């Protein structure tokens, strides 16, 4: 679970230490703070949403705290977001009270696994963004996810998802052993410090990300250790999986070079003639 300096720190059994996933407890809030203003994918997703305006709700898988849902709802689209993490969904619900009522009214969220969710309705558009396909452990899980998506799309409906297509440069410094850190000053008596590192397992094409945080508040210190893993699927495997699915690849988009090397695929469920 832990490597390098994170393993050494955890072995000290420091007082007031807690272990958790990146999408749980303290780290769910930290992840939300890091990613809430990410917009690399919004323009493309908004274009896809516009083509199905008024045709039904848009479904987002791995919706997190609602970054994409809120953007689409602000544009007038009715949405449903599903996520496996109850803590990320709780973050959305806390955040939603600050949204305009007409925006909040267009968003519903629920807890579900992207590979096995069950909904009574079918959708004109399903999206999976933020390279969240990497949360799946293997290609068999990707296949199950595509099958479940297909079953929930209307005829002619589209599925949009993205992934890291070239991993040689992505997070290279962290993967080479560099540990990054950030200090958050929330007032004279409330400071936070977070260390972040990544270790890649080359044989398995997986990476483990470790985090260590100290939260100093009210004269006491709480410590949080976090660990999560992600998969780097070769692009050839992803395309092969798509080609073997019942969905048809109709568009491919590559995000600008100043972003991480991310490719976006638009798949479509054919209409029965």
Residue 10: pLDDT above 80? yes
pLDDT of residue 178: 78
Sign (positive or negative) of CA dihedral 208, 224, 87, 116? positive
Phi, then psi, of 61 in degrees rounded to 5: -90, 150
**Residue 76 DSSP label:** T
pLDDT band at 32 (very low <50, low <70, confident <90, very high): confident
pLDDT tens profile 99-136 = 999 999 999 999 999 999 999 999 999 999 999 999 99
Sign (positive or negative) of CA dihedral 39, 231, 127, 250? positive
Q: Which of 86-95, 116-125, 190-199 has the highest mean pLDDT?
A: 116-125
Helices (H), the chain: 4-11, 25-35, 42-50, 67-74, 86-96, 101-104, 139-152, 172-175, 235-244
Q: What is the mean pLDDT of residues 27-41?
A: 80
Edge-first strand order for the sheet with 58-61 is 107-111, 79-83, 58-61, 123-128, 153-164, 262-268, 248-254
The CATH number for 36-165+233-268, chosen from 3.40.50.720, 3.50.50.60, 3.40.50.150, 3.40.710.10, is 3.40.50.150
Q: Check: CATH 2.20.25.110 for 4-21+168-231?
A: yes
pLDDT tens profile 151-179 = 999 999 999 999 988 755 555 555 556 78
pLDDT of residue 207: 87
The structural domains of the chain, with segments of one domain joined by +, span 4-21+168-231, 36-165+233-268
48, 128 contact by CB (below 8 A)? no
pLDDT of residue 1: 84
14, 223 contact by CB (below 8 A)? yes
pTM higher than 0.85: yes
């Amino acid at each position: 679970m832990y490597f390098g300096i994170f393993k050494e720190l955890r072995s000290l059994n420091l007082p007031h230490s807690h272990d958790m996933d990146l999408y749980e407890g303290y780290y769910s809030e930290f992840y939300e703070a890091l990613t809430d203003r990410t917009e690399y994918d919004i323009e493309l997703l908004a274009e896809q949403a516009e083509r199905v305006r008024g045709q039904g709700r848009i479904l987002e898988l791995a919706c997190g705290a609602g970054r994409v849902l809120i953007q689409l709802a602000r544009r007038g689209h009715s949405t449903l977001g599903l996520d496996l993490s109850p803590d990320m969904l709780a973050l959305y619900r806390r955040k939603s009270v600050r949204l305009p009522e007409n925006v909040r009214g267009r968003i519903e969220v629920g807890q579900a696994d992207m590979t096995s969710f069950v909904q009574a309705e079918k959708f004109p558009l399903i999206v999976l963004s933020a390279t969240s396909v990497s949360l799946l452990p293997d290609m068999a899980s990707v296949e199950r996810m595509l099958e479940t998506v297909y079953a929930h799309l209307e005829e002619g409906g589209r599925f949009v998802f993205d992934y890291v297509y070239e991993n040689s440069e992505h997070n290279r410094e962290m993967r080479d052993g560099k540990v990054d850190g950030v200090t958050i000053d929330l007032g004279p008596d409330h400071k936070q410090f977070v260390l972040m590192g990544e270790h890649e397992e080359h044989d398995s094409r997986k990476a483990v990300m470790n985090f260590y945080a100290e939260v100093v508040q009210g004269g006491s210190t709480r410590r949080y250790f976090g660990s999560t893993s992600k998969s780097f699927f070769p692009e050839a495997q992803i395309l092969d999986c798509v080609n073997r699915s019942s969905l048809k690849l109709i568009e491919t988009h590559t995000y600008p070079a100043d972003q991480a090397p991310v490719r976006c695929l638009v798949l479509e469920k054919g209409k029965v003639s």
